Structure 1
Amino acid sequence: MNRRKFVNLSALVGAVSVLPLSPLVAANLELADKKDKRYQKGASPWPICLDTATIRPASLKDKVKIAAKAGYDAIEPWEGELKEFEATGGNLKDLGKEIRDLGLFVPSVIGLWNALPPTRELFDASLKDTRNRMRMASDLGAKHIQTIPDTAGANYNHRWVVDRYREIIDIGLKEYNISPALVFVKYQPVKTLGQAMGIVMDTNHPKALVIPDTYHMYISEGGFEGLKMINGDAIAIFQFSDAPASPAVGDLQDKDRVYPGDGILPLPQILKDLKATGFKGCVSLELYNPEYYKQDLQMVAVTGLRKTLEVIKKAGV
C-alpha cells in the first residue's frame, strides 16, 4: 500500500470511529458488554464479595482494607457494624466513598431484623428501626438490604408476610433508594429456598428478590435442585460457603461453615446451575468459623477468595 492510500484509509477509519452510534447499535454493544463481563481477571462471571462476618474480630474500617488488599470486588457488612461506626463518630457516606475509592462496592447489608413480626401493631412499631437500618445502608451506598423474617412466628401467616414484605420493598425503594431482599435461615420461621421463593413470588412485586445461601440450602434440607427453577433476575446476592462432613446435617450450626471446597457440598454443580439462571450479581463468601477468627484475618480473606475461585474454575463457568 502506498503512502497516499494509507493516509486516505486512515482518515476514513478515523471519521467512522467518531460517528455517533445508532441507539440500536449502542444498546446491543451495552448488552454484549454486560453479558460477557467477567471479574477477578476473567476468572469469575460474578463479582466476589466478602461478608464481613468472615473476619468478624476486625473493625469495620479494617475489614474494608482487608477486603480490598485481598482482591475482592465487593464487601457486605452487617447493620450492627454500621450502627457502631456511627455511634463512634463515623460518617457512613464518607466510608462509602472510601470503599469505592478502594475499588470495592456494597451489594448488600445484613440486615432488617424483626422486619416481619406477626401483627400490625408490632409491624408498625418495627418500622422505626427498619427505616434507620435502610437509611444507614443507603448512606453507605448499598444496593440491597437483607429482609430477615426472624420474628414472623413458627406458624407464620403466609399472606401476612407477603403483604408486609411488599410494604418494606416500597419503603426501601421510595424512601431510601434501596432494594430489600428476602433471606431464609434454617433456625428461623422461613427455613428453605422454596418457602422464601413462595413469599417472593406471591408478593407480586417486580423488585421482590431472594437471597440463596448454599449452607442453609443444605442444612434446612431444602436442597439445591430448586435453584434450577429460578430466574437469576430474582436473586439479589448469592451467599457462599461449604459444609463439613461432620457433625451430621441436623446438628450443624453456622459456626461449622468451612471454606469453599473444604467440605462436602456440590459447589461446582451449584455454580453451574447458578450460571444457567442468568444471575449477574455477587457471590458472597460468608463464614462464621471461630477457628478462622483465631488466625491472621488477612490470610483468612485471601484464602477464602482463592478457594472460591478454585471452585469457580472447577465449575467451568
Structure 2
Amino acid sequence: MDRRKFIASGAALGLTTTAFGYSSEKSVKAKEKRFQNGRSPWPICLDTATIRTAKSLEEKVDIAIKAGYDAIEPWDGELAEYEKSGGNLKELGKKIKDNGLFVPSMIGLWGCIPENEEAFQKSLPETRNRMRMASEVGCKYVQAIPNKVGDNYDTRFVSSCYKRLLDIGINEYNVIPAIVFVEMFPLKTMGQATAVALDASHPQACIIPDVFHMYISKGGFDGLKSLRGDMFAIFQFNDAPKGMSIDEMKDKDRVYPGDGILPLPQILKDLKSTGFKGCVSLELYNPEYHKQDLLEVAKTGLEKTLQTIEKAGV
C-alpha cells in the first residue's frame, strides 16, 4: 500500500493525519488562552465604582490585587486626585503591572462630544488631559462618554468628533477612545453607539457594551452576536435586580452577576461567538455593597462573575 492510500485508509477508520506526525489547519486548533486558572476565556476586571467608598485609589488597586482580578478600571477623577495628592501615575501603573494586573480602560472622557464645533474645540484641553492620565497609568482604551451630545444630536457630527478623538488619542497619547452608551444620556443604545463608530470610518473605532444599559435602554441583547468581537473595547458586566420595573431601574440598583434577572449565560455565549478577546469588567454602583467590607465585595463579585461564565459553558 502506498503512502497516500495508507493515510486515506486511516481516515476511513476515524484517524487523522496527526496520528502519523502530520497536521493541518483543520485538524489542529490553537489552544485558547484562559484566565482565572482556566475558568474564563476573558480576563476579569474590577471597575473601581464597585468599591467606590475605598479611601484612595491606591487602596482600590490593593483590593483588586488581593481579590485576584486580572485588571482594574479606574475613573478619571480618581487619577486626578491621585496626582493632586502627589502620586505619580506611571509609578502606579508599574505597581499594577508588577502585581500581574493591567489597566484596560479609564472612565472617562466626559463631555468630549458636545453639541457643536465651538464647544468641541473648547472641550479638547480637558479631553487631552484625561487622555494623558489614561496613558500614564497604562490604559489601552479610554471611554468616550457622549453625555453632552444633545437630545437631537446629529450622528454625522458626533461621528466626526469621535473620529478626531480617535486620531488625537492614538497619535498623541497611545490610547484608543471607545464610545459608551448610557440610557440616561441622549446616546442610549448599543445600536446608536455602533452607528457612531461605523460612521467614524476609522479602523480603531469601537464601543463599550454594558449589559445593564443594554437592558434598561430596551435595545436588547440579540444585536450582540451580529457584531465582531474586535468592535468591543471591554464588556461591562453586572445584573439587573428582581422585583423592579425596568423604567425605575438606575445604576445604583445593579446587583452581582447571577443575583438578578438578566440572561447572562446566553449573553456570554453570544459574546464568545463574536470572537471577543478583551476584559469582562465588573461594574456595580450599589450603595448596599459600599457599606460592606470592600475586599469581600470584590471577591464576591469576582466569584459570581466566574460562576456565571462557567454556567454559560464558554
TM-score by length of 2: 0.90
Residue equivalent to 1:203: 200
Q: Which digits, 9 at most, give the CA deviation of each residue in 1:115-141, with x for residues without a partner?
A: 000111100000000000000000000
Counterpart Cα distance in 1 of 2:243 and 2:195: 31
Q: Quick check: 1:309 aligned with 2:306?
A: yes
Aligned equivalent of 1:136: 133
Which residue number corresponds to residue 42 of structure 1? 38
For 1:126 and 1:197, the matched residues in 2 are separated by 23
Q: Which residue of 2 aligns with 1:98?
A: 95
Q: How does 1:122-271 map to 2 (within 5 A)?
A: 122-271=119-268
* 1: CA distance, partners of 2:148 / 2:29: 42
Aligned residue number for residue 76 of structure 2: 79
Following the alignment from structure 1 to structure 2, what is the Cα–Cα distance between the partners of residues 41 and 61?
Answer: 26
Q: Distance in 1 between matches of 2:207 and 2:46?
A: 19
Q: Distance in 2 between matches of 1:285 and 1:34?
A: 28
3-state SS of 1:36 partner: coil
Tell me the residue number matched to 2:297: 300
Partner of 2:13 in structure 1?
none
Name 1:53's counterpart in structure 2: 49
Residue in structure 2 matched with residue 12 of structure 1 by the alignment: none
Counterparts of 1:295 and 1:242, CA distance in 2: 19
Closer, same or farther: CA 34–292 of 1 in aligned 2, 3 Å = farther
Say how many residue pairs are matched.
Answer: 288
Q: CA–CA distance in 2 between the matches of 1:284 and 1:82?
A: 18
Q: CA deviation at 1:246?
A: 2.8
Q: 2:63 aligns with which of 62, 66, 79?
A: 66
CA distance in structure 2 between the aligned counterparts of 1:93 and 1:67, rounded to whole angstroms: 18
Aligned alpha-carbon RMSD (Å): 1.4
Q: In the TM superposition, what is the alpha-carbon distance from 1:33 to its structure 2 partner?
A: 9.6
Question: Quick one: which amino acid aligns to residue 211 of structure 1?
Answer: I
Identity, % of aligned positions? 64
Q: Which has the higher helix share?
A: 1
Q: 3-state DSSP class of the match of 2:45? A: strand
1:247 Cα deviation from its structure 2 partner: 2.0
Runs of 4+ in 1 over 4 A off after TM superposition: 32-35
Specify the code of the residue in structure 2 equivalent to 1:267: L
Give the distance between the partners of 2:72 and 2:39, measured in 1 at CA.
Answer: 18
Q: Secondary structure at the match of 1:69?
A: helix
Distance 2:136 2:186 in 1: 30
Q: Structure 1: where are the runs of 5+ without partners?
A: 1-27
